[in-house]
Amino acid sequence: MTVSVLVVDDSPIARKMLRKALPVDWDITVQEACNGEEAMTHYRAGKVDVMFLDLTMPTMDGFEVLAALQKEDLNCFVIVVSADVQPQARERALGLGAIAFVAKPVNAESVRTVLREYGVLV
């Protein structure tokens, strides 16, 4: 079954880097959002299975997205992708329901490891 992936980052370069790090053998459709509000619009349209979420964004940041998703039953996997690599940022993101925390710059290996760990990718 095709998996719907949403890449959320205000930086077009970061979105490109993330897309490049996704496994080529993964059956997916990819959409992009450049802030938290856009991400929530995609989510509410019911089109997100896996969300790759940046933390530092204007309008609505990654932590706010995680909190909003929790209020709305969090019906997707969220993998936080962050330049802020402090342990507290990781703990806070995981505490708000993210399944994993990947440090920027992302690489294909770390993304694949996380997806395998959670059974998202066989």
Note the residues at the interface with another protein (CB under 8 A): 11-14, 16-17, 20, 56, 58, 82-86, 88-89, 104-105
Measuring CA to CA, which residue among 82, 29, 78 is closest to residue 57?
Answer: 82
Q: Considering the complex, what minimum distance in angstroms separates the CB of residue 104 from another protein?
A: 5
Cβ at position 6, least distance to another protein in Å: 19
The nearer residue to another protein, 37 or 84, going by C-beta atoms, is 84
Q: Which residues of 4-24 are buried (b: 16+ CB within 10 A; e: fewer)?
A: bbbbbbbeeebbebbeebbee
Show Cβ contacts of residue 11 under 8 Å, excluding neighbours closer than 6 positions: 54
| Residue whose CB is less far from another protein, 42 or 90 | 90
Of the two residues 87 and 119, which places its CB atom closer to another protein in the complex?
A: 87
Shortest CB 22 distance to another protein, Å = 13
Q: With H, G, I as helix, E, B as strand and everything else as coil, classify residue 72.
A: coil
Is the Cβ of residue 57 or residue 115 nearer to another protein in the bound state?
57
Which of helix, strand or coil describes residue 25? coil
